Amino acid sequence: MALLVAGAAGISVDTLSITDLLEGTVVTATSSRLVLNDLPWVEEFTGQFIYGASGDIEGGTLNAWRETLDGNLVFEVSDFSTPVATFLQWVNTNDNEAARSTILGGSDSIVGSASADTLRGYAGNDVIHGGNGTNYLRGDEGNDSILGGAGFDDINGNMGADTASGGLGEDWVVGGKDNDVLSGGDAYDLVYGNLGADTCDGDEGDDIVRGGQDNDIVRGGGGDDYVSGDKGDDTVWGGAGADEFHSFGDAGLDRVMDFSLAEGDRVRLDPGTTYTVAQSGADTIISMGGGGQVVLVGVSMSSLTGNWIFTG
């Protein structure tokens, strides 16, 4: 399991490069440490190293790599184990993607900076923290945990059952293919479950929260939210505020658990949707022409007045 830490200026994992990495001047070469100067860049490697008669590194195991620019940390990746021979092959063939995807191919911890970062987990169950700043965060394969922090974050769990939160700031939080747990955090957020049976929560702020495919749990949270279960049979809460519950003709069966006319909640259907409204026990049921239904749980049809439902 590798630990990747970004320097203060931020990094993009997608552009971490081993091209010409070993062309600097050797300033330290021991059995456990190799330092190369290609000023203003300095590369420092730690592990267990074997050198040939010429003094060039030939074998052993690489466990950590630290890069600085003008004395400032660019990034440091540690707690991994890669044969030196394999690393040298990547360098000699400029195979940057193989280096990145292998070193970060386990269940890793990736920590961003207060600046803009692009962070990617690759395979494994990763923990990714974007830190403050504007971040682009991708879990990729595995069951990942992703936190955006302050600032705008673009988060996508991709494959695996992921847990993701935008944190502070306005964020996009998207689940990907499996059963994800997603939350927007503070401020205005877009939370979208995509594929899988997801749990989506807008948290605070005026959010757009959508379940996507499958049977989802969707919560708007605080604020005036746009809440949509989308496809599948979904369970939906608007939370506090004047919320807009969206559905469409063949969306499935959606149960709205806290519809409140007093708070300003409304039901929004796609343009051209035909529908009927009926009372069933303690609930009001909206039946649409495409077979979809919206159940306003515990709401009497006779209490619904004014423009509580509309198309558009």
Region of 243 (left: φ > 0; alpha: ψ -120 to 50; beta: rest) is beta
User: pLDDT at position 233, please?
Assistant: 98
Taking the C-alpha atoms of residue 107 and residue 121, their distance in angstroms, rounded to an integer, is: 8
Residues 248 and 219 in one domain: no
Residues 149 and 215 in one domain: yes
Picking from 197, 6, 208, the residue whose alpha carbon sits closest to that of residue 117 is 6
| 134-157 burial: b if 16+ Cβ within 10 Å, else e | bbbbbbbbbbbbbbbbbbbbbbbb
pLDDT values of the chain reduced to their tens digit, one per residue, 312 residues: 899 999 999 999 998 999 888 888 999 999 999 999 999 999 999 999 999 998 889 999 999 999 999 999 999 999 999 999 999 999 999 999 999 999 999 999 999 999 999 999 999 999 999 999 999 999 999 999 999 989 999 999 999 999 999 999 899 999 988 999 999 988 899 999 999 999 999 999 999 999 999 999 999 999 999 999 999 999 999 999 999 999 999 999 999 999 999 999 999 999 999 999 999 999 999 999 999 999 999 999 999 999 999 999
Specify whether the CB–CB gap between 246 and 228 falls below 8 A. yes
User: pLDDT at position 20, please?
Assistant: 85
List the domain range (segments joined by +) for residue 86.
3-97
| 238-271 burial: b if 16+ Cβ within 10 Å, else e | bbebebbbbbbeebbbbbbebbeeeeebbbbbee
Picking from 114, 34, 108, 32, the residue whose alpha carbon sits closest to that of residue 73 is 114
Number of structural domains in the chain: 3
Boundary residue ending a domain (45, 69, 97): 97
CB atoms within 10 A of CB 112: 28
SS3 87: helix
User: pLDDT at position 21, please?
Assistant: 86
Residues 185 and 111 in one domain: yes
Boundary residue ending a domain (201, 234, 267): 234
Residues 112 and 229 in one domain: yes
Picking from 152, 127, 131, the residue whose alpha carbon sits closest to that of residue 9 is 131
Residues 138 and 203 in one domain: yes
Residues 151 and 253 in one domain: no
User: pLDDT at position 23, please?
Assistant: 84
Residues 91 and 135 in one domain: no
Residues 178 and 256 in one domain: no
Specify whether the CB–CB gap between 204 and 219 falls below 8 A. no
Picking from 81, 72, 146, the residue whose alpha carbon sits closest to that of residue 112 is 146
User: pLDDT at position 106, please?
Assistant: 96
Angle at CA of residue 186, ends 229 and 218, nearest 5°: 15
SS3 307: coil
User: pLDDT at position 56, please?
Assistant: 87
Residues 117 and 224 in one domain: yes
Boundary residue ending a domain (234, 267, 286): 234
Residues 85 and 23 in one domain: yes
Residues 220 and 149 in one domain: yes
- pTM of the full predicted structure? 0.92
Specify whether the CB–CB gap between 252 and 236 falls below 8 A. no
Sign of CA dihedral 14, 200, 132, 43: negative
Residues 230 and 120 in one domain: yes
